[in-house]
Structure 1
Amino acid sequence: MSDANQLNDKLRRRMQAGDYAVGDVGRAGLTNAAAIGIFRAQCMSRHLDRIARNLQKNGKSFYTIGSSGHENMAAVAESLRDDDMAFLHYRDAAFQIRRAMRVPGSTPLQDMLLSFTCSSEDPISGGRHKVLGSRSLAIPPQTSTIASHLPKAVGAAYSIDMPRGVNRGLHPLRRDSIVACTFGDASANHSTAQGAINTAAWMGYRGLRLPILFVCEDNGIGISVPTPEGWIASSFQHRPGLRYFYADGLNAYDAYAVAREAVEHVREQRQPAFLHLSMVRLLGHAGSDPEISYRSSEDIASDEQQDPILHTARLIADRGILDGSALLAIYDQVGAQCEAIAAQAAVRPHLASATDVMRSIVPPRRAVAPASIVSPDERRKAFGREWNNIEQPQPMAKLLNWCLLDLLLEHQEIFLVGQDIGKKGGVYGVTQKLQQRFRAGRVMDSLLDEQSILGLAIGAAHNGFLPIPEIQFLAYIHNAEDQLRGEAATLSFFSNGQFTNPMVVRVAGLAYQRGFGGHFHNDNSLGVLRDIPGLIVACPSSGRDAVAMLRESVRLAREEQRIVVFLEPIALYNTRDLHEDGDNAWSSAYPEATYTAPFGEVAQRGNGPLAIVSYGNGYYLANQASRTLEREYGIDTCLIDLRWLAPLPVDSLIKAIGSSEHVLVVDECRRSGNVSEAIMAHLHEAGLQRIARLTAEDCFIPTGPAYAATLPSCAAIVETALALLGKES
């Protein structure tokens, strides 16, 4: 087993002796200058791997997954345009270096070494992680992702050729751009990769325009588990809708030539392709990985014999471009340059405080074009027959439908995507008739895959669009939560605010549906959403507030580049009445544009000594309970609708409670891990003592008559309130 320094010594000795790796002559097409540039990028990448491990031994570097063996990704970079967006595998330092070498003003060695040492001067993450990425190189940052970047790469590619109807506005990707997405052979087995590639093939099969190049770097092993020989080829070379290319990834000339063919196919045909490159992995998975514990010394030595740098040196020497001494001189000169820059990077400043670290969680505000001026005639035409009903009381589902219609009229960069939202109009009719009015380009039916729905939105947001994806039910978001947690919410953080993916994710959820579907359709758990840094969670309780909050959510995404999950209580979609049948007290006319629900502000009704704090269905029940408390027990209440569940509007909540002597928190979600726990803690910290909470049980929701047995009820709110006040029921 060789460590990085031993591998370096072996490589030098073999280059000095002209003992290059044995292989084919390679295909034509690569210019002499490009071949030398690729070789230089390979040398930089190899020395960076060695130096990173040495820095780690000295406590100066902290993350050492390297690129040794994958250096011919520099040849793939050569085949692409420098403004083709690239979502990179963590072993692709050579790709980024080669691209940087072709972009004037770039300093790849300095940039990467500042990242290795976690310096606050690191130009991509500001010292938050060792990541590949660069704004100027069109490389969004990636950490050690296991295929989770593939769905958003599909989305970015789709956004380039967005169908008719969506206004492109100012977007970074040119109309003839393509997207490259790279990953390892082990990652190709991950469900996220399978879903993204399936989505691309599904689109390609349907003839949709999707200019994406998947690049699988097949080194035959995933950390310690071998990939079966022939598995990648067998899995992907016959997929309908996906053109397959194969190249020897050890041979720079072959890798470039085949990559060039694949790139031209994608660019000209606007169809997805899969480039399969066979490679080797030199050194362990990372600096802390002793590969001798799971690989034989013979296998390790065999891979070292196939060192891609020795293959490139042979190909250049055999073509008479440079001789062996000149190649070795380049290798040594690059090594000395890396050492000198590393010494400087190791003493540069680091992040020093929580404030510094957290600064990029929330993206920077941006200037945006004003909303389109929609004439009354145009608006009336879009509403059609429903225009006559706009001043009549309506339930939440209908008001949300009209709000989405207005938003599509006002903001041409908005598009909707989700399962069944087009022709069907959504399971609950919230998007009804929108596709007929705005075409399929702006209201898009997706395939059944939540990861792909969110990935498409994330990627399109990279390219300047404002997506409003829909997840059909709250329980289904668990199929794709890493797209929010690991990809969307981390983008600003790991790029120091340089890359953003603003969007509003509509999710139908919560419980109280009468006997419908059990826990997959009645889901009352928000824990997975509330602990994601930077994510905003909104939850309206009435149709009037739903419109105002959706408008505010779109403003947050457009102007402040935020990611908002807009949680819509299914049980309140079509609820019209509050106390008696036909009272229409929970319906409202479509609110005027001046009615707002500012982010971070609660809604309040009344000023009684008992404050009842809730949201969603709980707030609806609290209104019912309030009348009982006032009429039967003479207890005045202060009803508070949280509206914004993450981050919690604590200051606004405390102000709304005001002089109320008792506070009851009603949480329709489970007792453990949900909103009420945090509210109780905040109330206690604020010095409030007479507080109580009523929650759902820690249980899934059943189907049938017992659908609400584990949930708070109007009667339970009254009983708990009386107990808090020391009164008998």
Structure 2
Amino acid sequence: CDLAAAYDAAVRAVRHVRERRSPAFLHLTTVRLMGHAGSDVEQAYRTQREIRADLERDPLVRTAELLVEAGQRTPEELLRMYESEREHVLRLALETTRSARLGSAKEVMEPIAPRKPELIAKISPMAAPAPERDKAFAGVLPEHDKPMTLSQAINRTLADALAVYPEMTVFGEDVAKKGGVYGVTRGLQKRFGGGRVFDTLLDEQAILGLALGAGVSGLLPVPEIQYLAYLHNALDQIRGEAATLSFFSRGSYTNPMVVRVAGYAYQKGFGGHFHNDNAVGALRDIPGLVIASPARPDDAAAMLRTCLAAARTSGSVSVFLEPIALYHTRDLFEEGDGGWLAPYAPPGRWPETHVPIGRARSYGDGCDLTIVTFGNGVRMSLRAAVRLTQEGYGCRVLDLRWLAPLPMDDVLRAAELTGNVLIADETRHTGGVSEGIMAELVDAGFTGKLARVTSSDSFIPLGGAAEHVLLSEAEIEQAARKLLG
């Protein structure tokens, strides 16, 4: 409440820090004038003596007294300044009351997700000039390499993005020299330096807090959350900050970021709730948040480029959910078939392989059954579909790819082609993805047969016990047979 005393204390604190090389805490006390809100009548719980004492310590009045005592201003000058500012504020308030009111839900929601699909499609295929790409990849371009796993495709896409976006940074727990728990960011710090690829504290709130500050400051942050279960510790950094900034500022400010998260279950020999989490409900109810869920290497590369372009052009906040169990998967149907590998597309093909936000991917052209799925469910459903096809059933598998916004136009189209829809959802029965799909299909007037199989409403236990609560390939096949009659 005393500006001069506060300044003197701050000077002493700075001197202490500089001379002793140790921290100092600056403890300031002030007053709360008037109630917390219009409904908070402080006379109901504070005495008149307490209220008067606070008014006497009003920092504004005390500072005015300080200026008068120092001969810097006269009381009359300060009163004129005060009245002038008061009139200015009241005039602005009056002008605000005359401004147009929001008149529809569309107007209210307009700044939530201000995406520009055409611009995203234009920016997404951008690559660094050939000499810079050669340097980034030490002369071994990824498109000339062998077909890649999901992990390798994400790694090469991050490298390409770091080469083309000088404002992009990659950070998180152990992502730098170690390259992350699963090696997804291996080699990036060596190529792009510690200023752009670096380790953070073991604190998810600090990681996302850094991303918030970086995004609003003009950078393109790509933070990594080591496991999906860890994200819940700091979810309000996305829910209450990043995703709402554009809404509450009417688009004047944004927190662009792409949050990479290793998630879902089915890891071999490494389990438990904190390393296998299939809960996405808390993410899916955040308005405007983009949730990407690639299953295959080629989709992961294209979708990551899309998310980065959306952040850069529209200030979008994206969560990029990477299925841990598919990181290093190579085969689809039998050992050695390489069916889950994919070549890395050269920049010349990026425009044609662009994946818009909210577009699904279809496999097969069967007319009997549509299996709608995502993540680990894609591989399980494709394997189940092959066995059903061998028995004479025509199946198609639709990979959602995006959990928010859901690609419902593609889902409805695929559903109407067969009239039978099975949703294979590896998340939980309650609060999972399948609930939203079923509701959307019903709302759209789909009248065909509809069923779903999901994981149980359970945390994921250690070891083989996890198989009791997680969606299985056999359950998908069994449910499909039941639906087909």
State TM-score, norm by structure 1.
0.61
Deviations 1:691-717 (A, max 9, x none): 111111100101111222212111111
Residue of structure 2 aligned with 1:711, choices 470, 473, 476: 470
State the 1:277 CA deviation: 3.0
Which of 465-474 and 379-388 deviates more? 379-388
SS of the aligned residue for 2:223 comes to: strand
Aligned 8 A contact 1:538 1:646 in 2: yes
Partner of 1:278: 29
2:100 paired with 1:349? yes
Sequence identity, in percent?
A: 49
Partner of 1:442: 196
Residue of structure 2 aligned with 1:625, choices 371, 381, 384: 384
What is the identity, as a one-letter code, of the residue corresponding to 1:681?
A: A
SS of the aligned residue for 1:659 comes to: helix
Partner of 1:637: 395
Q: 1:336/1:667 Cα in 2 relative to 1: closer, same or farther (>3 Å)?
A: same
Partner of 1:404: 158
Aligned 8 A contact 1:638 1:657 in 2: no
Partner of 1:592: 346
Partner of 1:615: 374
Partner of 1:464: 218
State the 1:441 CA deviation: 1.0
Residue of structure 1 aligned with 2:235, choices 457, 465, 481: 481
Residue of structure 2 aligned with 1:723, choices 469, 472, 482: 482
Distance 1:411 1:343 in 2: 44
Deviations 1:364-418 (A, max 9, x none): 658999946432x653453348658944232111121111112112222211010
What is the total number of aligned residue pairs between the two structures? Answer: 471
Deviations 1:114-139 (A, max 9, x none): xxxxxxxxxxxxxxxxxxxxxxxxxx
Deviations 1:296-318 (A, max 9, x none): 44333322222223312322322
Partner of 1:207: none
State the 1:286 CA deviation: 2.3
SS of the aligned residue for 1:705 comes to: helix
SS of the aligned residue for 1:694 comes to: strand
Residue of structure 1 aligned with 2:424, choices 666, 690, 697: 666
Deviations 1:201-252 (A, max 9, x none): xxxxxxxxxxxxxxxxxxxxxxxxxxxxxxxxxxxxxxxxxxxxxxxxx223
Partner of 1:86: none
Q: 1:555/1:338 Cα in 2 relative to 1: closer, same or farther (>3 Å)?
A: closer
What is the identity, as a one-letter code, of the residue corresponding to 1:408?
A: L
Distance 1:407 1:692 in 2: 40
Residue of structure 2 aligned with 1:684, choices 433, 438, 442: 442
Q: 1:335/1:553 Cα in 2 relative to 1: closer, same or farther (>3 Å)?
A: closer
Partner of 1:696: 455
Partner of 2:112: 361
Distance 2:309 2:27 in 1: 43
SS of the aligned residue for 2:411 comes to: helix
Aligned 8 A contact 2:143 2:344 in 1: no
State the 1:643 CA deviation: 0.3
Aligned 8 A contact 2:412 2:446 in 1: no
1:177-256, aligned counterparts within 5 Å?
Answer: 250-255=1-6
Aligned 8 A contact 2:369 2:394 in 1: yes
SS of the aligned residue for 2:422 comes to: strand
Distance 1:527 1:383 in 2: 38
Aligned 8 A contact 2:357 2:405 in 1: no
State TM-score, norm by structure 2.
0.89
Q: 1:263/1:674 Cα in 2 relative to 1: closer, same or farther (>3 Å)?
A: farther
State the 1:362 CA deviation: 2.0
Aligned 8 A contact 1:467 1:503 in 2: yes
Distance 2:138 2:81 in 1: 71
Partner of 2:58: 307
Aligned 8 A contact 1:515 1:707 in 2: no
State the 1:421 CA deviation: 0.3
Distance 1:641 1:272 in 2: 53
2:132 paired with 1:374? no
Partner of 1:544: 298
Deviations 1:439-493 (A, max 9, x none): 1111111111111111111211112111111000000001110110111111111
Deviations 1:650-671 (A, max 9, x none): 1122223342120101100001
Aligned 8 A contact 2:127 2:160 in 1: no
Distance 2:2 2:136 in 1: 58
State the 1:530 CA deviation: 0.8
Distance 2:15 2:170 in 1: 31
State the 1:328 CA deviation: 4.1
SS of the aligned residue for 1:475 comes to: helix
Partner of 1:570: 324
1:39-118, aligned counterparts within 5 Å?
Answer: none
Distance 1:462 1:722 in 2: 51
Gaps (5+ residues) in structure 2?
Answer: none
Partner of 1:318: 69
Aligned 8 A contact 1:514 1:707 in 2: no
2:315 paired with 1:561? yes
SS of the aligned residue for 1:712 comes to: coil
Q: 1:516/1:598 Cα in 2 relative to 1: closer, same or farther (>3 Å)?
A: same
Q: 1:314/1:485 Cα in 2 relative to 1: closer, same or farther (>3 Å)?
A: same
Distance 1:418 1:356 in 2: 37
Distance 1:287 1:265 in 2: 43
Aligned 8 A contact 1:571 1:617 in 2: yes
State the 1:338 CA deviation: 4.7
Deviations 1:247-282 (A, max 9, x none): xxx22344467668989999xxxx998654321111
Q: 1:617/1:535 Cα in 2 relative to 1: closer, same or farther (>3 Å)?
A: same
Q: 1:613/1:340 Cα in 2 relative to 1: closer, same or farther (>3 Å)?
A: closer
Partner of 2:137: 383
Aligned 8 A contact 2:228 2:264 in 1: yes
Partner of 1:583: 337
Q: 1:493/1:258 Cα in 2 relative to 1: closer, same or farther (>3 Å)?
A: farther
Alignment RMSD, CA only?
Answer: 2.8
Distance 1:562 1:343 in 2: 34
Residue of structure 2 aligned with 1:429, choices 183, 189, 201: 183
What is the identity, as a one-letter code, of the residue corresponding to 1:308?
A: P
Q: 1:265/1:440 Cα in 2 relative to 1: closer, same or farther (>3 Å)?
A: farther
What is the identity, as a one-letter code, of the residue corresponding to 1:720?
A: A
Partner of 1:506: 260
What is the identity, as a one-letter code, of the residue corresponding to 2:179?
A: G
Partner of 2:411: 653
Deviations 1:57-76 (A, max 9, x none): xxxxxxxxxxxxxxxxxxxx
Deviations 1:52-95 (A, max 9, x none): xxxxxxxxxxxxxxxxxxxxxxxxxxxxxxxxxxxxxxxxxxxx
Partner of 1:531: 285
Distance 2:114 2:338 in 1: 41
Distance 1:527 1:390 in 2: 40
Aligned 8 A contact 1:513 1:707 in 2: no
SS of the aligned residue for 2:430 comes to: coil
Distance 1:498 1:343 in 2: 22
Distance 1:263 1:345 in 2: 42
SS of the aligned residue for 2:417 comes to: coil
Deviations 1:319-361 (A, max 9, x none): 3344444544554555455555545543443212111111111
Which of 322-331 and 597-606 deviates more? 322-331
